[in-house]
Chains A and B, each alone.
Chain A
């Protein structure tokens, strides 16, 4: 909100927003590196709750921050591998799907006020998680054949679906309804 009201040039605002969002991502992500299901590849990631939040409320800077945050998280936990390239792409695309749907495709502005809105959000979440799993799991399998492909795909899918729905939805309700954050407007509704 401070950035929105400031007189800074657009590119500076863009960079500042990306940096702030990356910091938010890391503050939440780093402590969870202690909980590892498949060490080195993936873990229980409540930080995925930020996926729809970053895409819907902050657009492209949010998508970039999400991807950079994930990469820095990998660096911090000493798990950077060639597959991190696929991870970077998947973590950019995850929030981007939300941005694309709610800001470009949907006919009305984002809201979670009724069952129909929630169902729509559920569908977009599932699609984005499937895309993430399709990007990361084959890349990991290709370079590390010993990894259980099904388990890895399932973990990526569940992380990408469960946390955005169980924690992300209430957070977005709180942000939109009570804290005054405005989601990006749908271009078609305007």
Chain B
């Protein structure tokens, strides 16, 4: 996979993640997010395990305990930021919450510097554009934001940034399929524990219908098994910053879904001029990060290294 292909894959991953709202609209609100995480990650882990059994076995015998511990860390981080987002989002309306979610891109360079990793001028420019996009999109709503909600979202973004940096490091060292499978296993186990704490009746509490089962399977195939694995493969070639900036496109896709999809699938939302300007700036920030200003010379070097 070359750099162009890695960026295409990251855009696809972001696109898949942006469809979460569409899939969730088919699941009743009383089904807890921990339930969805447990079932979907469980299905994805089983699917990947069946399809790539030999590959996973080989990687396990090569990396062993180190790999498992790293996947456990990723699983904990994943559950951590998802839970914070889940509680933080309650303090926002849909569009404001979604733009706040994109703050990871602003937090990431700070996390990178804390971890003694360098951040280039181009990245700062991208981050500046994305941040401007978020601020403009939030517009007058900035004043109405509740500090506790913002704190939870910000903490979620910090944990997510650490998750992305660590995933990026581990992806370069381990087999992506094995990494994806075990992250899913740990997310599933942790989610089940949380589910049991908040809803001891677990499976008996779900109003099982064909729609719910279908939605859970769709989520498991596309968001977990496919997007997560594709993301880890792409992270082998892309940097953590590149990935995060491309992830910020999620809000742009969400705006598009709100405009074009029928109301029975997703809540219809007409974007304001502020939303559009914000989205354009986020796209511009992503383009600045993706485009190689030094031209073909460096691209050639990258492909030669591969």
Contact = CB atoms under 8 A, between A and B. Distances in A.
B9 A174 contact: yes
B8 A170 contact: yes
Contacts of B9: 170, 173-174
A150 B130 CA distance: 38
A169 B234 CA distance: 13
B4 A113 contact: yes
A34 B230 contact: no
Nearest to A35: B265
A111 B265 CA distance: 35
A34 B4 contact: no
A187 interface: no
A68 to B, nearest CB: 20
Nearest to B10: A170
B29 to A, nearest CB: 17
A37 interface: yes
B262 interface: yes
Contact of B226 (A31, A35, A112, A171): A171
Nearest to A173: B5
A37 B262 contact: yes
A42 to B, nearest CB: 13
Contacts of B15: 166-167
Contact of A170 (B12, B211, B215): B12
A173 B221 contact: no
B291 to A, nearest CB: 13
Contact of B215 (A34, A44, A177): A34
B110 interface: no
Contacts of B213: 31
A163 to B, nearest CB: 11
A12 B211 CA distance: 37
B31 to A, nearest CB: 15
Q: Is the interface of B mostly helix, strand, loop or mixed?
A: helix
B5 A34 contact: no
A30 B218 CA distance: 10
Contacts of A44: 265
A27 to B, nearest CB: 8
A113 B2 contact: yes
A61 to B, nearest CB: 19
A37 B262 CA distance: 8
B26 interface: yes
A29 to B, nearest CB: 11
Contacts of A173: 1, 5, 8-9
A115 interface: yes
Contact of B214 (A34, A114, A174, A178): A34
Nearest to A112: B5
Nearest to B1: A177
A174 B236 CA distance: 12
A157 to B, nearest CB: 15
A63 B157 CA distance: 45
A112 B6 CA distance: 11
B217 interface: yes
Given A34-B26, A174-B229, A178-B1, 5 more contacts: A27-B221, A31-B215, A112-B5, A170-B13, A174-B9
Interface of A: 27-28, 30-35, 37, 44, 46, 112-115, 166-167, 169-171, 173-174, 177-178
10 contacts: A27-B221, A32-B218, A34-B215, A114-B4, A167-B12, A167-B226, A169-B12, A171-B226, A174-B9, A177-B5
Nearest first, the 6 A-B pairs at minimum CB distance are: A31-B214, A170-B12, A177-B1, A34-B214, A31-B217, A173-B5
